[in-house]
Amino acid sequence: MTEPLWTEVDAYLCDALAPEDAALKAAAARSLAAGLPAIQVTANQGKLLHLLARAVGARRILEIGTLGGYSTIWLARALAEGGRLITLESEDRHADVAERNFAEAGLSAMVELRRGRALETLPNLADEAPFDFVFIDADKPNIPGYFAAALDLTRPGGLIVVDNVVRDGRVVDAASEDPDILGVRKFNELAAREPRVSATAIQTVGTKGYDGFALLLAQPAI
Ligand code: SAH
Ligand code: DHB
Ligand code: MG
């Protein structure tokens, strides 16, 4: 589901407030040329992630789902001095493109890409925790598992952002057997009763169609 006007407004907003520099443009172009799916965040969404990470003063950022590293670049540029970002990716083909993009963007020193399925690599991150900001954007059926891991890895006051929680509105279909929808709905149930976070979600429209983000603020357990 896309409307020409959503795309037109996104183009206007990106141009006005979230212009891509040469490195971001090159990263998107290189990902496209390599045949990666064009499902990265839009520039204004990337800037939103960047601003949220800056707002929590992020020094340690975790991303689950790298693709070609487009969102990673927006996030890495939010890091406070001396900060580090770890991004998890299961597809070597995607990881190869991403690492090239990080190098070209001058971010190789701050960004570490870990290959493998995230449910298997997340347990190895205890030494890198706590994170100030976590972006969950990999396969949707595993969002509940990624959320559980993120809860253990995020400091109180840290922020967890989850992409793709509306999916053309299909999230409201309680009878859905789509594994993506089941993943998002299970995640919402877990988030709602989880005392360690305060959560909300918002719908978005734009170049990528009709979807949404969930935002969860980590807080001390009660
Ligand atoms: N965050 C990126 C887009 C990520 S697309 C951006 O906005 O620029 C989702 C990515 O998650 C894909 O590259 C896919 O290969 C990866 N992925 C899917 N399943 C995964 C898993 N189990 N573990 C780690 N990465 C996974
Ligand atoms: C799609 C979009 C995403 O942002 C994502 O993470 C995965 C898939 C999609 O439009 O198919
Ligand atoms: Mg996404």
Q: What pLDDT is recorded for position 1?
A: 72
User: What residue's CA is closest to ligand 2, atom 11?
Assistant: 39
Q: Over 80: is that where the pLDDT of 13 sits?
A: yes
* Tokens of residue 127, six digits: 């030494």
The token pair that represents 126 in the structure block = 């205890």
pTM of the model: 0.98
Residue 149 has pLDDT above 80, yes or no: yes
When pLDDT is averaged across residues 35-61 and rounded to a whole number, the result is 98
Q: Is 42 in the pocket of ligand 2 (CB under 6 A)?
A: no
Ligand nearest the Cα atom of residue 87: 1
Q: What is the pLDDT of residues 173-186, one digit of tens each?
A: 999 999 999 999 99
Determine what percent of the chain is predicted with pLDDT higher than 70.
Answer: 99
Q: Which two tokens stand for residue 93?
A: 């083909």
Beta-bridge partners for 162: 136, 214
Pocket probe mutation, ligand 2, options 2, 6, 39, max atoms within 8 Å of Cβ: 39
What is the predicted pLDDT for the residue at 67? 98
pLDDT: is 221 or 3 the higher one?
Answer: 3
Q: Is the CB of 137 under 6 A from ligand 2?
A: yes
Distance CA 120, CA 172 (A): 30
- Residue 121 to residue 6: CA distance in whole angstroms: 37
Ligand 2 neighbourhood includes 66 CB (under 6 angstroms): no
Q: State the pLDDT at residue 222.
A: 57
Confidence at residue 221, expressed as pLDDT on a 0 to 100 scale: 65
Shortest-distance atom of ligand 2 to CA 208: 10
> What's the pLDDT at 65?
99
63 vs 135: CA distance, rounded Å: 5
Residue nearest to atom 12 of ligand 1 (CA): 67
Q: In the structure, what pLDDT confidence band is assigned to residue 72 with cuts at 50, 70 and 90?
A: very high
Nearest CA to ligand 1 atom 7: 40
The answer, yes or no, to whether any atom of ligand 2 lies below 6 A from the CB of 71, is no
119-134: per-residue pLDDT in tens?
999 999 999 999 999 9
> Does an H or E element contain 149, and which?
helix 143-153
